[in-house]
Amino acid sequence: MAQLVFLPVANQIESGTYLVYDGTCDTGGMLTVAEETLADLAVQVGKDVSIHLFGQEVNPETYAIAKADLLLKGEGLEAENIVFGSTLSADAFPARKFDFMLSNPPYGKSWKTDMERMGGRGDLFDPRFIIEHGGDPEYSLITRSSDGQLMFLVNKLSKMKRGTALGSRIAEVHNGSSLFTGDAGQGESNIRRWIIENDWLEAIIALPLNMFYNTGIATYIWVLSNRKPAQRQGQVQLIDATGWSTPLRKNLGQKNCELSEADIQRIVEAFLAFEETEQSRIFPNRAFGYWKITVERPLRLRVDLSAAARVRFRQACQEAGEGDLADLVDRLATDLGPGPHLDFNAFLAAVEKAADFNLTKKRQKLLREALAEKDEAAEPVIAKVHKPGKVEADPLAGRYAVEIGGKPRVVEYEANTELRDTEQIPLLEEGGIAAFFRREVMPYVPDAWIDEGKTRVGYEISFNRYFYKPEPLRTLAEIRADIEALERETDGLLEQILVDVA
């Protein structure tokens, strides 16, 4: 990781002081390797640099090892910058900004205790995690309490230098969940959106499996910078390095391979080349984004005024103390007939016209629950009526131009929650949401509309989508050969079984 952080900016390194930070400093190894790599590069380009290391670790044993590691190397002053405590709930360096940051945060580890210390999800207002973005003054970067690994990345991003020529560079190792967990509008997706829309993400590198001692899961290095070079701006590079590793002579737990110097160099070269190859793909930032829309369909109710239905309705009215309403419905049934009546709106209008009392929400609820049933052949139930000019008709948004009592109106229908659905539409979709909806939804459900208030933007990154290589199908000749081989193996088997039984 140190090479991915420092090599891309080697020619930009000037004489001066550089601060290197690890928010989960583990054994301190990453920090010391980073220090050595930066010092070597500075010598190569003839610069005199002063390097200061900073780290924080919540595990007491690991903290002690990290501190002891620096003390044993004669770096007592740097050891003072290794602090014990939680990076999330007790940030030891709230006012500091760093030039280079790297770490390997815990995967799938609960941070519920930290969340509670910070006030709980509803009252967590740490400026690192509640920010302004996309027009939202309280844009949440708070992930599920069951997995806080992306929160460590957010912590680092809050510590980037903004006013220097070099800015800040970050490298962090994550498991696959950081790429895709979290729905649009949720913490993980919001973090990816925030990062990508700010154009900080340079690359993600997929590492070989079984790289770590206690797990064989897939892992990925995220490389970020707030000073992306011109050719990288607006783009993200994905590198598939899963096949670049060297096997160990003896397994160490689940770890059966490592990255040799040659493997590391290969990854760095692919990163620096920034070219499309079989293992390197380049995408515009918006390729990872999508709109999540909520698709609604109207609630359609028919009204039953049969004798049996009215008996049930009267019982419900008596229990609610609304006997007058039952009497009114009985009178209406004589005029309207038993039904079924396929226009609930017209039925309500008839009740209102005939009633000599106020048709309260309670009474409307009784009419609906005791007399109406869902029926896709019925007319949609009107939820709102607007006068023309105040609201424009737009079927995509669920606003329709109709006539009520011979007068033009714009109506909104009540949604049937049982028919509610969602769609994900790529941000790069030609024609956007409207074109997708007209092509993919309306031909099949022409009465559908989009609840615009529920539309959310999400981001996810799928390596499988871009690098998956399907296994070639077997040829007919191969399948035929296998079948014929099985026939030869079983030839005479049934006869032998019958002989043995006899």
How does DSSP classify residue 58? S
Q: Apex CA 91: angle with CA 149 and CA 219, to 5°?
A: 20
What pLDDT was estimated at residue 259? 87
Q: Per-residue pLDDT for 502 more than 70? A: no
Over residues 270-280, the mean pLDDT reads: 95
d(CA 150, CA 320): 53
Are β-strands 16-22 and 100-103 bridged in parallel, bridged antiparallel, or unpaired? parallel
d(CA 111, CA 456): 26
What pLDDT was estimated at residue 473? 83
CB burial of 92-115 (b: ≥16 within 10 Å; e: otherwise) equals bbeeebbbbbbbbbbbeeebeebb
pLDDT, mean over the chain: 91
Residue 455: pLDDT band (50, 70, 90) is very high
Over residues 222-235, the mean pLDDT reads: 96
Over residues 77-86, the mean pLDDT reads: 91
Question: Which tens digit of pLDDT belongs to each residue from 434-443?
Answer: 999 999 999 9
Over residues 375-399, the mean pLDDT reads: 92
| 341 vs 210, more confident | 341
What is the CATH number that goes with domain 1-107+148-172? 3.40.50.150
Q: What pairs with residue 246 in β-bridges?
A: 258
| 499 vs 459, more confident | 459
Residue 485: pLDDT band (50, 70, 90) is confident
Query: Terminus-to-terminus CA distance in the chain, angstroms?
Result: 73
Q: What pairs with residue 120 in β-bridges?
A: none
Alpha-carbon dihedral angle through residues 83, 87, 91, 95, given to the nearest 10 degrees? 90
| 215 vs 94, more confident | 94
Phi/psi of residue 17, nearest 5 degrees? -105, 135
Residue 484: pLDDT band (50, 70, 90) is confident
Over residues 110-117, the mean pLDDT reads: 93
Over residues 307-313, the mean pLDDT reads: 92
What pLDDT was estimated at residue 498? 64
Judge whether 233 and 285 are in contact, CB under 8 Å: no
What pLDDT was estimated at residue 174? 94
Over residues 172-179, the mean pLDDT reads: 94
| H-state helical runs in 286-395 | 307-319, 323-336, 344-354, 361-371
d(CA 225, CA 102): 12
Over residues 253-277, the mean pLDDT reads: 90
d(CA 78, CA 352): 80
Closest to 258 in 3D by CA, of 244, 241, 245: 245
d(CA 22, CA 34): 10
Q: Per-residue pLDDT for 336 more than 60? A: yes
How far is the CA of 184 from the CAs of 30, 135, 287, 334, in angstroms?
A: 33, 16, 15, 53
Judge whether 260 and 249 are in contact, CB under 8 Å: no
- In 130-240, DSSP assigns E strands to 130-133, 136-140, 169-175, 201-206, 219-225, 235-240
d(CA 235, CA 283): 5
Residue 196: pLDDT band (50, 70, 90) is very high
Residue 492: pLDDT band (50, 70, 90) is low
Q: Per-residue pLDDT for 474 more than 90? A: no
Q: Per-residue pLDDT for 214 more than 90? A: no
Phi/psi of residue 311, nearest 5 degrees? -65, -45
How does DSSP classify residue 356? S
Judge whether 311 and 355 are in contact, CB under 8 Å: no
d(CA 172, CA 156): 10
Q: Per-residue pLDDT for 269 more than 70? A: yes
Over residues 292-298, the mean pLDDT reads: 97
Closest to 103 in 3D by CA, of 52, 54, 164, 144: 54
How does DSSP classify residue 415? B
In the block, residue with structure tokens 């105040």: 390
Amino acid (one-letter) located at 40: D
d(CA 371, CA 303): 6
The residue ranges of every structural domain in the chain are 1-107+148-172
Residue 28: pLDDT band (50, 70, 90) is low
Judge whether 433 and 426 are in contact, CB under 8 Å: no
Residue 500: pLDDT band (50, 70, 90) is low
d(CA 334, CA 237): 73
Q: What percent of the chain shows pLDDT beyond 90?
A: 65
Residue 47: pLDDT band (50, 70, 90) is very high
Residue 388: pLDDT band (50, 70, 90) is confident
Number of CB atoms found within 10 A of residue 339's CB: 15
| 252 vs 272, more confident | 272
- In the three-class reduction of DSSP (H, G, I as helix; E, B as strand; rest coil), residue 207 is classed as coil
Judge whether 55 and 28 are in contact, CB under 8 Å: yes
What pLDDT was estimated at residue 494? 63
Q: Is 474 exposed, middle or buried (0-12, 13-18, 19+ CB in 10 A)?
A: exposed
Q: Apex CA 185: angle with CA 180 and CA 186, to 5°?
A: 60
Judge whether 428 and 284 are in contact, CB under 8 Å: yes
